[in-house]
């Protein structure tokens, strides 16, 4: 697979997140960090695979609603706990269209 259009810049405002599906049905969490960049992440929490879209996003910190694990949405690194992170899918923006390439990238799964 290669880059495919997943959304437009109008779909995700700065400081916000939305979930989209690729053509093969893979869910991708698109997050536009406050003062940062738009990135595409794995959609499921690496802890016990709850959907991260159901969490909260505040000050560039994504908190999973299930057990409150937290991630920095500027780089996907775990904050609490710090020994985990989110997989990031390559993105590119052409005009107002957002493209993502999920090929070869597996979502992280962490300890339970
Ligand atoms: S499933 Fe996300 S913190 Fe447990």
Domain ranges of the chain: 4-100
User: How many whole angstroms from 52 Cα to the centroid of ligand 1?
Assistant: 8
pTM of the model: 0.95
User: How many whole angstroms from 77 Cα to the centroid of ligand 1?
Assistant: 15
* Residue 34, Cβ density class (10 Å: 0-12 exposed, 13-18 middle, ≥19 buried): middle
Closest atom of ligand 1 to 69 CA is 3
User: Rounded distance, CA 52 to CA 82, Å?
Assistant: 17
Burial call 9-19: b when 16+ CB within 10 Å, e when fewer = eeebeebebeb
Please report which confidence band the pLDDT of residue 110 belongs to, taking 50, 70 and 90 as the band edges: confident
Q: What is the mean pLDDT of residues 87-106?
A: 97
User: How many whole angstroms from 10 Cα to the centroid of ligand 1?
Assistant: 29
Each residue of 28-77: pLDDT tens digit? 999 999 999 999 999 999 999 999 999 999 999 999 999 999 999 999 99
Please report which confidence band the pLDDT of residue 111 belongs to, taking 50, 70 and 90 as the band edges: low
**Domain 4-100 CATH superfamily:** Rieske [2Fe-2S] iron-sulphur domain (2.102.10.10)
């Amino acid at each position: 697979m290669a880059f495919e259009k997943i959304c437009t810049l109008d779909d995700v405002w700065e400081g916000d997140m939305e979930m989209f599906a690729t053509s093969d049905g893979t869910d991708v969490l698109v997050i536009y960090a406050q003062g940062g960049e738009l990135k595409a992440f794995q959609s499921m929490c690496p802890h016990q695979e709850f959907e991260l879209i159901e969490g909260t996003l505040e000050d560039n910190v994504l908190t999973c609603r299930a057990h409150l694990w937290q991630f920095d949405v500027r780089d996907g690194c775990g904050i609490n706990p710090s020994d985990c992170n989110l997989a990031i899918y390559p993105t590119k923006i052409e005009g107002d269209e957002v493209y993502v390439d999920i090929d070869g990238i597996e979502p992280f799964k962490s300890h339970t």
